[in-house]
């Protein structure tokens, strides 16, 4: 669903939310039409087996439209926390790798600059050009790793929301809701209509029970070494991931032909 509403749609959503909440509170003084949790035993969402029926707060909530904080659902669930933790580890590894590469290249740059004093410009120029090319190739390789890990994080996030669909669908059946609206698209609502905590608890339970896909754990394969890269300064094969950019290294003086 779109994260934002504009104009009349936004106010329409607000009015609907207020009306629904008023209906919920009005029902508190009326005898319930059916006992809480009175959901048919066979009611379930295809693809999700052995889901417990609503209990506690879930059983007491009855509303045709409920709200959900998608970002909180991801950040506070075990799955989302595992994805973020792995991304942080990969990011830290890439930062450390970038620093090692930078230190090695800086040392080679100093040595090359020292040698320049005893060389003619004609003999020094090819060495400087080769060094420049290697630095650029290494930078591109590290940037490729950064993009790969970011893409993998986004894919894992998408997989989380896809896996959450049948769980949320089953929860909708149990609370007799007809729709779930992203809370970020609503101007004003009552907290009683928010099912984020319920959804987090249900997703964590389904994950622990093995009824959801395993937590993502594949590593990012590093790109092939750049042609002509020095083995001493080539990127390591250990998966490291993040989006830091190495500090630009200045080419040796007189490196340009």
pLDDT truncated to tens, each residue of the chain (257 aa)? 444 333 344 334 433 343 334 443 334 444 444 444 444 444 444 444 444 444 555 556 788 899 999 999 999 999 999 999 999 999 999 999 999 999 999 999 999 999 998 889 899 999 999 999 999 999 999 999 999 999 999 999 999 999 999 999 999 999 999 999 999 988 888 888 999 999 999 999 999 988 887 776 543 344 444 444 454 444 444 444 444 443 443 434 444 43
Res 216: pLDDT: 61
Distance CA 229, CA 139 (A): 11
Helix axes 196-208, 78-116, angle to 10 degrees: 80
Res 89: pLDDT: 95
Domain boundaries defined on the chain: 7-78+155-208
Res 32: pLDDT: 46
Contacting residues for 168 by C-beta, under 8 A, at least 6 apart: 68, 180, 199
* CB burial of residue 84 (10 Å; 0-12, 13-18, 19+): middle
């Amino acid at each position: 669903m779109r994260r934002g509403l504009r104009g009349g749609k936004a106010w329409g959503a607000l009015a609907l939310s207020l009306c629904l909440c008023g209906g919920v509170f009005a029902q508190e003084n009326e005898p319930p039409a059916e006992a809480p949790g009175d959901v048919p035993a066979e009611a379930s969402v295809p693809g999700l087996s052995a889901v417990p029926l609503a209990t506690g707060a879930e059983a007491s909530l009855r509303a045709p439209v409920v709200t959900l904080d998608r970002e909180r659902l991801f950040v506070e669930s075990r799955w989302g926390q595992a994805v973020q933790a792995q991304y942080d580890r990969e990011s830290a590894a890439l930062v450390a790798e970038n620093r090692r590469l930078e230190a090695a290249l800086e040392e080679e740059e100093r040595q090359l600059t020292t040698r320049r004093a005893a060389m003619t410009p004609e003999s020094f120029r090819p060495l400087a050009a080769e060094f420049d090319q290697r630095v650029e190739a290494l930078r591109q390789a590290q940037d490729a790793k950064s993009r790969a890990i970011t893409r993998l994080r986004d894919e894992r996030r998408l997989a989380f929301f896809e896996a959450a669909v049948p769980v949320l669908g089953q929860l909708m059946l149990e609370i007799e809701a007809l729709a779930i609206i992203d809370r970020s698209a609503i101007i004003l609502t009552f907290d009683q209509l928010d099912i984020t905590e319920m959804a987090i608890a249900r997703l964590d339970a389904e994950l622990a029970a093995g009824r959801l896909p395993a937590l993502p754990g594949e590593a990012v394969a590093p790109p092939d070494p750049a042609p002509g890269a020095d083995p001493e300064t080539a990127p390591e094969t250990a998966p490291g991931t993040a989006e830091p950019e190495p500090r630009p290294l200045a080419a040796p003086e007189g490196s340009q032909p």
